[in-house]
Each structure stands twice: as structure tokens, then as C-alpha cells.
Amino acid sequence: MAGVLEGKAIVVTGAGSGIGRAIAIGCAAEGAKVVVADLGVSLAGEDPTSEVADAVVKEIGAAGGEAVAIADDVSTWSGGEHIVQTAVDRWGKIDGAVCVAGILRERMLFNMSEDEWDAVIRVHLKGHFTIFRHAAAIMRKQESGSLIGITSGAYAGSIAQANYSAAKGGIVSLTRSAAAGLHRYGVRANCIAPIARTRMSANVPQQIGEMGDPEDVAPMAEFLLSDASKDVTGQVYTVVAGRISVWNQPVEVRSIRKEGRWTPEEIASRFGEVGVEKMGLIERAEQYRQAAASGEKPNA
Ligand SMILES: NC(=O)c1ccc[n+]([C@@H]2O[C@H](COP(=O)([O-])OP(=O)(O)OC[C@H]3O[C@@H](n4cnc5c(N)ncnc54)[C@H](O)[C@@H]3O)[C@@H](O)[C@H]2O)c1
């Protein structure tokens, strides 16, 4: 039986390990030809090796699939261009791109170095831009294509990962912008916020209640890359074990108005009408602090 991605050319970044590896192998099993792009770095983004991407290509080949390895850096303009061009040179097109490459440099905001900020923003956010940008130029001409960003629930805020949270929030905004700007050309863009057992999740400072495997995430990526989701764009989906949840679209919920400009005193007097929206993370911050003080990992 033909797979849901039969004949499609798909780029997967970060495809050498964890979630990216599961998506690359899953796409190949569904009939796609896959560019396995991975720089083969440590969790912090160091010590690159091409062996990591090569190993996944071998695995796909052994299972009867077709794939090509590329150990380029998604955080550079030329790296992104080269990765996308590899699919076009090999197979004459690019039907989908999944940006899974990522690193971690965790630190409280007040202790974070410039390098820790820059490295995480570069790999995650710029790493999406370089792939989306170069893929979009080709997909626009093809009048088809599916872009998938990998965000995280941490995009809604994070206590000890301000760099990672900011990058993941940027990825959601980039994806929504791609969806809006490319819709008229038949190109779609969506995000997955995965939770899965990998070297990255093993390191987070909180106890994650709900957990699955990278292979649980792959089918949702395959669905979003396939023609079965041709009307789905601009969405964010959490995927963990057997749960798939859609996030809401950010909208304003209440307003106050007057003719002309407000004074601070006027705002203070009527502020209750617009008020605040509950931020659960602030309530959880105290729990985190107490757990950390007693040497435990707090619940996420
Ligand atoms: N594991 C989880 O529970 C979880 C939760 C939320 C989000 N995510 C996101 O899922 C993605 C994959 O994470 P994972 O858990 O599989 O981690 P992982 O560390 O197993 O995989 C990340 C891969 O990205 C590659 N990479 C890093 N920098 C690169 C670069 N500059 N160019 C090319 N490749 C590069 C690494 O070599 C590695 O193979 C990340 O974006 C992560 O933020 C994971």
C-alpha cells in the first residue's frame, strides 16, 4: 500500500537524533524521499560530526527508503540554502520542510550570557527562518508545500529558559506569518509543540508529567506534510504520547475606550474593566522555587 507521503521530497533538520530522527524515518516509511539534515552537535550545540546524519540515512536505506545526509548548520543563511537546495538538486522539488534542529543553554535571565542568548535564538529561530525562507521561495513557484515549525509549550513562558522560550515564541509568530503570507500560493505552515523522551527532555529542570516517545510525534508531522491536511494552516498542535491538542489563536479579549488620549490616572480609575489575564506560570514559579530548595525536580 502506498504511504501518505509517496513521492514527496521532504527536508527534516535535526534529523540525526530524537524527534527529528523519528520524523525522518517515519516520512521515509510513508514513501517520502528525505533530506536528513543534522550538524551532529551536543545538546549545547558543540562538537559537530557528520556521522549522526549518515547513520540515519543508512537506517532509512536499510529499511528500503531513500534519503540523503547533509551535516550543515541551519543557523546560517548558506546552511539553510544548501539544505533546501539538496532536495531540489536530487529530486527537482521540495514538498515539505520540518525544522527540528535545536539546542539548550538553560540559565535564569539574570545570569544569562550574551552567547547563551545568541546561540539559542540563532539555532532555533534563525534556523527556522533560513529553511522557511529558502523553501518558501521554491514552494511559491511550485504553488504547493508544507512547512512545519517545532515550538514548545515553553513558548507561553518559561522560568529558567528565557532564551529558549523567546525563540519558541518567535517560531510560532514566524509560522503564523508564513501561513498568512503564503496561503495564496497554496503553501501551508503549522507548528508542533512536542513532548518526548530524548536527551533534551531528560535535562529540563522540571518533572514532566505527561511523556511519550519521539515516534509518537512523527505521525502528526506526516499528516501535516500530507495532502490529507491540505486545508490546515497557521495552527499549533501539542503532540505527546496519544494526545494531540490544538492551541488557540492569540486574540484581544477586553478593551476600554475613550475619545482621545488617556491619562495614567484615568487608566488607573477604569483599569478593572480591562484587568489582567491569569498567568498560571507565575503561580507555578513559587512551587518550582520550593521544590528546588528541597532538591527535587518540580512538576511541569
Ligand atoms: N524533547 C522534548 O520533549 C521537546 C519538547 C519541546 C520541544 N522540543 C523541540 O524538539 C526539537 C528536537 O528536540 P529533541 O528533543 O529531539 O533533541 P535532540 O537534542 O535529540 O535533537 C536535536 C538535533 O538538532 C541537531 N542540531 C542542533 N543544532 C543544529 C544546527 N545548528 N544545525 C543542524 N542541526 C542541529 C542536533 O545535532 C540534534 O541531532 C527541538 O527544537 C526541541 O526544542 C522537544
Does 18 sit in the ligand 1 pocket, CB within 6 Å?
yes
User: Using a 6 Å cutoff on CB, does residue 40 contact ligand 1?
Assistant: yes
SS3 category, 288: helix
* Residue ranges of the chain with per-residue pLDDT less than 70: 1, 205-207, 297-300
CA of 124 to the centre of ligand 1 (A): 9
User: What pLDDT is stored for residue 57 in this prediction?
Assistant: 98
Binding site membership of 160 for ligand 1 (Cβ less than 6 Å): no
Q: Radius of gyration of the chain from Cα atoms? A: 21
CB distance 175 to 167 below 8 Å = no
Kindly give the number of the ligand 1 atom that is closest to the alpha carbon of 151: 7
Q: Is the CB of 20 under 6 A from ligand 1?
A: yes
Q: Is 67 touching ligand 1 by the criterion CB < 6 Å?
A: no
Closest among 197, 245, 255 to 22, alpha carbons compared = 197
Ligand 1 centre to CA of 269 (Å) is 48
**What is the model's pLDDT at position 300?**
64
pLDDT for the residue numbered 206? 67
Distances, alpha carbon 224 to alpha carbons 233, 259, 290, in Å: 9, 46, 40
E strands, 111-182, where? 145-150
Please give the sequence-ordered ranges of beta strands (E in DSSP) within the chain, or none if there are none: 9-13, 33-37, 66-70, 96-99, 145-150, 187-195, 236-240, 243-246
* Type of residue at 202: A
Task: From 100, 165, 216, give the residue whose CB has the most ligand 1 atoms within 8 Å, as the site to mutate.
Answer: 100
- Distance, CA 92 to ligand 1 centroid (Å)? 28
Each residue's pLDDT tens digit, 123-157: 999 999 999 999 999 999 999 999 999 999 999 99
pLDDT at 97: 99
